[in-house]
Structure 1
Amino acid sequence: MTRPAADFFADNGLSQPPIYLTDLDRCTPAGALSREPRRHSWRTLPYRTSGFNGVMLLAGPETAAPAVTYHLNATGWHAVSIGVYPFWSEPEGRQLELQLKLTGPGPFTVLSHPRVPFAGHSEWLHEMFWDVADLTGRDLAIAQPTARSSPGDRPGSFLGQPARIAYVKLTPLSAAEVRAVSTDRADSETRRLFAHQDAHGPHSAWRLTSASEIQREVEPYRDTDFSRLYWECGSGDLMNYFTQIGRIPAYDGLEDFGRQADRFNAESWRILRDRGIDPLRVAADHARDVGIEFHASYRVAGFHYPPPLDHFNHGDAVYNRRPEWRGVDREGRRTPRFAYTYPEVRAYVVSLLREVAQYPVDGVCMFYNRRLPLVEYEPQLIEGFRTTHGVDPRTLDSLDPAWLHYRAGVLTQFHRELRIAMDEETQRQHRSRRLQISAVVASTEAENLRLGVDPRAWVDEGLVDTLIPYSSAPNFNSSVDAWADPRAIDYFLDVARGSNTVVAPNMMPRQVSPEHLRRRASGLYRAGVQHLFFWDCAGGSGRANYADMWSALRRLGHRDEIEAWRAAGEPELASPRHEMRSLGDWNLDYQTPG
C-alpha cells in the first residue's frame, strides 16, 4: 500500500532528509549530568543502533532531574521529533514522561509514552513527533515532570515517572512546505475538534504549584484541529476556581486521603491559593493565547460522593447544610443526591454558573454523564403528575412514557433558567457573542429520558447550543468501541436538524490506534457529523500525549486527508523505531531472560 501524498501524519509528507542529534551529553549545564545514577541529575548512557550511535539521558521515578538545554544550532523551520527508550515492566512505572519546550516564553508540554508489550528481550527506541517550528535562535529545554511527595530532600521526597530520551530528530522544511504549514494553520475549516479536561488529573498527578504548569495542560492544542477546550469548573459546590459561593478542593484540615493522588490535589490547591494563582483564570487566559475557545464545564450531580471518595465531601458542603434538597426515591426514602426538582437547587447551581461567567469563558457545559439521576419521585413532582394525568406515578411502571416525559420537564426548566442567566450575563458584560450552553448526554433517546434528559425539547426551545452524546453504548460505558455503527448518531442529527445546535459525538474508548481513530471519524463524518468531542484529552494519561494516536488526533479535522488515506488502502500509521544493538557496556545481541 502507498501512503497518500497529502498525508501529514507526524512528519510524514516532508521531502527533506532528517537530521539525528544523538549526543545528548552536550546538554547544559554539565553539572546536571552524571555517568552514574544520581538524584537531581540526568544519567548519561551510551547506546548503539544499526543506524547510529549516541548518548541518551535517563532519570528514574525518584530522580527529580532538573531542566537542561540542548543546543540545536539550527535555523529555519523544522519538524521536531524525539526518540525515547520505553519500558515494559510494571514495577518501573506507569509510563515514560518527559517535558519539552523551545527556549523563550511559553510553558513546557508533557510527552508520555505508555509501557510497551514485552518484546522478547529486544530493546527498541520509539520515535515521538512533537511540533513544527522555526528554530532560528532557539534551543530545546528538556525536563522531567515531578511532584514533591514529602518534605526534605531524600529518596521519595520527589516522585515522577521514568524519563528517557535518546535523540532529537530535526526534519527541515522546504520553502513550499513552510508556506503549506502556514496556510494549513490558518484554515478554520479543519478546526472541528473539541477537547475535555477534568481539571483534577493534572493536580493529582503532578501537584501543580505554578501558572506555567497549568498552562502546560492547554498548550498541546496550539496549531492543531482543536477549536474548543471544555475545562471543568466544578462539581456540585466543589469548584475549580476561587469561588465566593462554593468550596475549593483544598480540603483544609484533612490529612489522610484514600489515594496519594488526592493528597497531591489538595496540596496543589492549598499552594495555588496561597500564591493567588486561580487555575480557571490561568487556563482561560492561556486558551486565548493558544487560539481556542474555552468552555467551563460542570458536573451537575457532584454534590455528594460515596466512600472511599468521600474526601470530596469534606468541609462546609452545601449538601450537609441543606438536607431538605435531597432527592426522594420511589419508596419515599431520601437519597444521597440533590434533586433539581427543587427550585432552590436549580437557583443555587445557576448562581455558581453566573459566577463562572465572570471569567473569560465562551460558554458553560452541563455534564449529564456522571452520577445521575437528578430527578426522582419528589413530592411536588408526584403531585404535579397526579394533577396533570390523574394517577400517582408510583403506581406506574418506572419506564412509563408519560411519566418519563413529565419528569424530564424538570431539567428542561433548569435549562430555561440557565439560558436566561447566561443571556443576562452576555448583555450585562457587553459581550459580542452570546454565552454558549453545551450538554453531555446519554446514548439514545430512551436512555436520556430514563435519566430525566430530553435533548429534543432543549433543541426545540433553543436551550442548548452543542449536544455531546458521550457514547453510542449504554450506561456511559467508556470501554466500548463507540460509534462502530455510525447510524447510532442519527437520532441526535435528527434532533438538531434545522436548528443552530451543533452535534459533537464523544469518541471512546480513550486509547485506540491511530488507524482506528481515523476509521471512526470517517464513519461519523460520512454520516453527517461536523464536530467531534474527546473526553479526557489532557496530557499524561490522556490523549494529548504525543504518541502515535495524538499524531492522528491532532489532525483529525482534516477530512480530505482521512478520506485520501482510506482510498489508499489504509496504510499503517506508525512512527519509526530503531532496534538497539548495545546499551552501556551491554551487547544486546546476547541478551537472554533473567
Structure 2
Amino acid sequence: MSDNLSWHLRFALLFSLLSTSATYLAAAEPTSAQQQLPRPHSEQWQNFKQAECITDLTRCLPADALSNRRQHNKWKVFEYETAEFSGKCISVGRESSAPDLTLKLGKEGWHAVYIGLSSITDLVRPAKNNVEVKFTSDPAYTRLSNRLDLGPQRRDVLEEVFLGTVDLTNNDLQFSTVYHMPARIHYVKTIPLTDEEVARLNADRTQQKTKTAVATFDGYTWIHPFRPQNRADLAATFSAYRDSDFKTWWFQVGGADLVHHPSQVGNLMGAQLDTFPREVDREYVESVRHLHQQGIDPLKVAVEEAHRQQAEILICLRAAGWKAAPPWEEFFMSEFYEAHPEWRCIDYDGTPTMHLSYAAEEVQDHLIEVYREALQRGADGAGFLFHRGMPMILWEEPFCKRFIKEYGKDPRQLAEDDPRVLQLRATIVTEFMRKIRKLLDEVATQRGTPGRRLKLAVSTFSTPADNRKFGLEVERWIDEKLIDQIGIAWFAYYTSGLKSRSGDTAYYARITEGTDVKIFPFYIGWKMESADSLLKSVARDNEQGADGIAVWDPNQFVTWQKGRHPYWPLVSKLGHRQHIRDGSLIFKPTTIPLTRLGENYYSRWYPNTGF
C-alpha cells in the first residue's frame, strides 16, 4: 500500500474542522440525522478508511498519448502537490484531439470509484470543464466535471466526483475528452465494498418502488455542447441515468414539428443555413447533419438507450415551437409554419403573432403525423408540453368562423375572457387530445400489442384558473381516460406560477385520486440553488400527493450552489422518499486545494494578472 493511502482521510478531517458553515435540512421537525453535518459521499461506505488512491496518472495507456508539452493530440502531464499528497495529473485543453486512455486498476471485487478532478481557470475566473469516464464494462462514457469555485487567491481546487459502484474484476477505467472542454484528472480513488453493501446496491437497482422520477430532454442541448460524431457520443448523454430514479423520460424532438431525426413530416432546425445566430447553433446543425450522413438517427438512439436502462420514453412536442424572433427567425423555423400564414394566431386587437392556431384542423393533423413518424422508433408513448408555450388559439379566422357557427356571434366583439370563448378553446384542445390518444391506440395495434396502452403525458399549469384560461380541460381528459401522466409546470409564461413559483399539487392529487393518472410537480435543473430548499419542496410535494418528481433539464444545473453539496447524488435519487425525509442524500464535497501545479506554486501573488 502506498504512502498516499491515508492522505484523503486526514485532509477531509482537516477541511471539516475548518468549515465555517453547517447546512441543515429545512424541515419543521428536524430529525437527529438531519441535525448532523453532512458527510463526504465516500464516507458512507463501511471500508472508506481502506481507500486506495492512484495519484500518478502517467500509468495511463497508451504511454505515447502523454506529453510534457501542449499538443492537440496528447494529454499533457503536470506534477502537482497538495498539503497532503503529490502526484502527476493529465490535462487537455479546449482544442484537444487527444486519444482515449486506459488506466489499469488491478482490482478484484466490488468497489466505489471516485475521480479527482481539478477546477480550470480562464486566466482569472473558473471555467467550465468536462471529461468522459467509463469502466471498460460500461456500454457508454459518463461525463463528469468539477463544480467548485476557485479557492482564495484564485487557487485551483480538486473535487472528488463519484463515478459509480462496480465489480472491478477484469475491469479498468477509460478516459475520453469532451468537445471544446478542458479537463485535468489528478487521481482515482477506490473503496472496497462489503458483501452487505453489494447486496443492498443490487437490490436498489432492481427494485421499482423508488423509480418514480421524470427526466426531460430538450432535443437541443444534448447535442450542441458535445458535437457528437457517432452513436457512442450520443449515448454518453444518458449513462449517468443508469442507476438513477429517472425511469420515465419525456424526450423532446426540438419544437412542434422541428425535429432532429430524419423526417418526411417535420424539419431540422437551421437545416438550410450557412450562417448562424450563435456558434452553438452551428454546432447543433453540423452535428445532426453529420450523424444523418453516417446513418445515425438520434431519436432512435435515445429510445434504445432508454430501453437499455429499463426506462420508458415518451416523444414530446412543444405547443408553440414553430418559429422564433430575430436573430433566430431562420434557425427556429418550421417549414409548415412558413407555408401557412393563414393559420397563424391573431390577437384580440388584430396583431398577428408567431404561433399557429390549433383551431385549424390541418395544424392538429400535421402534428399527429409528426407523432406517427416519431413513434416508429419504438417509444412508449407521447407527450404534449403546453407550457412551451401559449397561446395555441386566439382570434384568428379559423377560430372566429367556428365560434360564429356555434354561437352566432363574432368573438372579436365580446370580452376577451367571455366564458364561451374559453369554452370553445377548451373544446378544440380536447379534440386534439383525443386525436393523440386515438393515434397511440392505433400504433399499439400496429405493433401487434393492442392490449398495451401507450402513455400520453401532458404538462399543465399551476392552477385550475390558469388551465381554464388556455383551454386545458384536465379533469375532462382524466374522466375520458385520455392521459396518463401530468407534469405540473409552474414556470409557464402568462400564468400565475411565474409569481408563486409553485403548482397546486394538492389540487392535482384530488382530481387524479382513484385513477391511473400520475402527477409530477416540475423542478428546473437550471433554477435549483440549494439542496436544503430542494429537499424541503420535494418533501412537501410528496406529502400533498405527488406520485413522483419531474426535473426539467436535469443535466443543466448552472445555478446549483458551488462548493456546498454534490448535485447528482441528490437529484438522481429523488424517488427515495425516506432519504428525502432524513436528509441522507445531502453530502459534503471533498474539496482539496492545490499548492503546486507545474511551475505555479500557489501563493498570494497570482501569476495571471499580467494578461
TM over 0.5: yes
- The answer (yes or no) to whether the contact 2:260–2:268 under 8 Å persists in 1 is yes
C-alpha separation in 1, matches of 2:525 and 2:109: 39
Q: Report how far residue 302 of structure 1 moved.
A: 1.6
With over 3 angstroms needed to count, the CA separation of the structure-2 counterparts of 1:133 and 1:479, relative to structure 1, is farther
Contact map agreement 1:42 1:59 (CA 8 A) in 2: yes
Structure 1 residues 582 and 234, CA, compared in 2 at 3 Å: closer, same or farther?
closer
Query: In 2, distance between residues paired with 1:307 and 1:387?
Result: 37
Change (3 A) 1:135 1:591: farther
Q: Report the equivalent of 1:560.
A: 578
* 1:419 and 2:452 are equivalent in the alignment: no
Name the amino acid aligned to 1:395. Q
For residues 293 and 112 of structure 2, the distance between their equivalents in structure 1, rounded to whole angstroms, comes to 40
Structure 1 segment 201-212 matched on structure 2, within 5 A? 201-212=221-232
Q: Which moved more, 1:28-37 or 1:256-265?
A: 28-37
Compute the displacement of 1:222 (Å). Answer: 0.5
Deviates more, 1:263-272 or 1:431-440: 431-440
Query: Does 1:125 pair with 2:158?
Result: yes
Rounded to whole Å, the distance in 2 between the matches of 1:168 and 1:409 is 59
Task: Name the SS of the counterpart of 2:164 in structure 1.
Answer: strand
Which residue is equivalent to 1:156?
Answer: none
Distance 1:92 1:256 in 2: 31
The answer to whether the 8 Å contact 1:481/1:509 transfers is no
Residue of structure 2 equivalent to 1:56: 89
Shift of 1:304: 2.0
Provide the residue aligned with 1:154 in structure 2: none
User: Normalization by structure 2: what TM-score?
Assistant: 0.86
Does residue 235 (structure 1) correspond to residue 249 (structure 2)? The answer is no
Shift of 1:458: 1.8
Q: Deviations over 1:356-376 (max 9, x none)?
A: 222210111111122421111
Distance 1:200 1:184 in 2: 32
Provide the C-alpha distance between the structure 2 equivalents of 1:422 and 1:8, rounded to a whole number of angstroms: 47
User: Does the 8 Å contact 1:81/1:168 carry over to 2?
Assistant: yes
Task: Indicate yes or no: 2:132 matched with 1:99.
Answer: yes
Q: CA deviation at 1:389?
A: 5.0
Q: Separation in 1 of the partners of 2:438 and 2:409?
A: 33
Q: What's 2:356 paired with?
A: 338
Task: Give unmatched runs, 5+ long, in structure 2.
Answer: 1-23, 25-31
One of 124, 131, 141 as aligned partner of 1:108? 141
Q: Which residue identity lines up with residue 220 of structure 1 in the other structure? A: A
Q: Among residues 118, 134, 141, which one is paired with 1:85 in the alignment?
A: 118
Q: What is the CA–CA distance in structure 1 between the aligned matches of 2:323 and 2:353, rounded to whole Å?
A: 10
Structure 2 residue 513 is the aligned partner of structure 1 residue 497: yes
Separation of aligned partners in 2, 1:398 and 1:310 = 29
Within 5 A, what are the aligned runs for 1:377-526?
A: 377-386=395-404, 388-389=406-407, 391-431=409-449, 432-471=451-490, 475=494, 482-483=501-502, 488-508=504-524, 510=526, 511-526=528-543
TM alignment of 1:79-228, pairs within 5 A: 79-87=112-120, 89=122, 94-104=127-137, 106-114=139-147, 116=149, 119-146=152-179, 160-228=180-248
Q: Per the alignment, do residues 50 and 117 of structure 1 end up closer, same or farther by CA in structure 2, a change over 3 Å counting? A: closer
Compared CA separation, residues 363 and 551, structure 1 to 2 (3 A) = same
Give the whole-Å Cα distance in 1 for the aligned partners of 2:332 and 2:216.
24
Conservation of the 8 A alpha-carbon contact between 2:120 and 2:127: no
Q: Kindly provide the amino acid, as one letter, of the partner of residue 493 in structure 1.
A: A
Residue 327 (structure 2) aligns with = 308
CA contact under 8 A between 1:439 and 1:464: conserved in structure 2? yes
Per-residue deviation, 1:552: 0.5
- CA shift digits 1:39-76 (9 cap, x unpaired): 22111112222222211111121233321111111111
Structure 1 counterpart of 2:59: 26
Amino acid at match of 2:594: M
In the alignment, is residue 45 of structure 1 matched against residue 78 of structure 2? yes
Matching residue of 2:304: 285
Quick one: structure 1 residues 19 and 105, their matched pair in 2 at CA, closer, same or farther if it must change by over 3 Å? closer
Task: State the Cα deviation string for residues 23-43 of structure 1 (Å, max 9, x = none).
Answer: 111111111111222222111
Q: Of the candidates 597, 601, 604, which is equivalent to residue 583 of structure 1?
A: 597
Task: Give the unaligned 5+ runs of structure 1.
Answer: 147-159
What is the CA-CA distance between 1:489 and the residue it aligns to? 1.6
Q: How many residues align?
A: 570
CA contact (8 A) 1:94 1:115 kept: no
CA spacing shift, 1:94–1:592, aligned 2, 3 Å: closer
**1:412-431, Cα deviation, whole Å (9 max, x unpaired):** 11001111111111122122
1:217-273 Cα shifts (integer Å, max 9, x gaps): 121111111111111124233222111222234614x21101011111111111111
Q: Does 1:15 align with 2:46?
A: yes
Describe the superposition over 1:166-209 as per-residue Cα deviations: whole angstroms up to 9, x where unpaired. Answer: 11111110111111111111110010111011121132112212
Structure 1 length-normalised TM:
0.89
What pairs up with 1:245-394 in 2 under 5 angstroms?
A: 245-249=265-269, 251-252=271-272, 254-312=273-331, 317-386=335-404, 388-389=406-407, 391-394=409-412
Superimposed CA distance per residue, residues 462-490 of structure 1 (whole angstroms, 9 cap, x where no aligned partner): 2211111122676479998944xxx7322
CA–CA distance in structure 1, aligned partners of residues 361 and 137 of structure 2: 52
C-alpha separation in 1, matches of 2:301 and 2:525: 29
CA distance in 2, matches of 1:270, 1:91: 37
SS in 2 for 1:73: coil
Counterpart for residue 6 of structure 2? none
Q: Which moved more, 1:411-420 or 1:453-462?
A: 453-462
CA distance in 1, matches of 2:340, 2:269: 20
Aligned partners of 1:231, 1:476: CA distance in 2, in Å? 24
Report the Cα distance in structure 1 between the residues aligned to 2:478 and 2:124, rounded to whole angstroms: 50
Q: Distance in 2 between matches of 1:35 and 1:497?
A: 65
**Secondary structure of the structure 2 residue equivalent to 1:217:** coil
Residues 428, 199 of structure 1: alpha-carbon distance in 2 compared, 3 angstrom cutoff = same
Is this contact kept in 2: 1:518–1:552, CA < 8 A? no
Q: Label 1:249 to 1:72 Cα distance change in 2 as closer, same or farther (>3 A).
A: same
| Aligned-residue offset at 1:93 | 7.0
Change (3 A) 1:380 1:42: closer
Residues 126-135 or 11-20, more deviating: 11-20
Paired residue type of 2:55: T
Is the partner of 1:403 in helix, strand or coil? helix
1:443–1:474 CA contact under 8 A, matched in 2:
no
Q: C-alpha distance in 2, partners of 1:592/1:75?
A: 44
The structure-2 alpha-carbon separation of the partners of 1:583 and 1:88, relative to structure 1 and needing over 3 Å to count, comes to: closer
- Stretch deviating more after TM superposition (55-64 or 75-84): 55-64
Contact 2:54–2:189 at 8 Å: present in 1 too?
yes
Partner of 1:70: 103
For the 8 Å contact 1:301–1:371, the answer to whether it is kept is yes
Maintained 8 Å contact 1:96/1:115: no
Aligned to 2:546: 529
Give the direction of change, closer, same or farther, for the CA distance of 1:287–1:435 in structure 2 (3 Å limit).
same
Q: Answer whether contact 1:249 1:269 (CA < 8 A) is retained.
A: no
Aligned letter for 2:542? Y
User: Secondary structure at 2:486's aligned position in 1?
Assistant: strand
Supply the AA of the counterpart residue of 2:249.
L
Amino acid at match of 2:159: H
Q: Distance in 1 between matches of 2:323 and 2:126?
A: 33
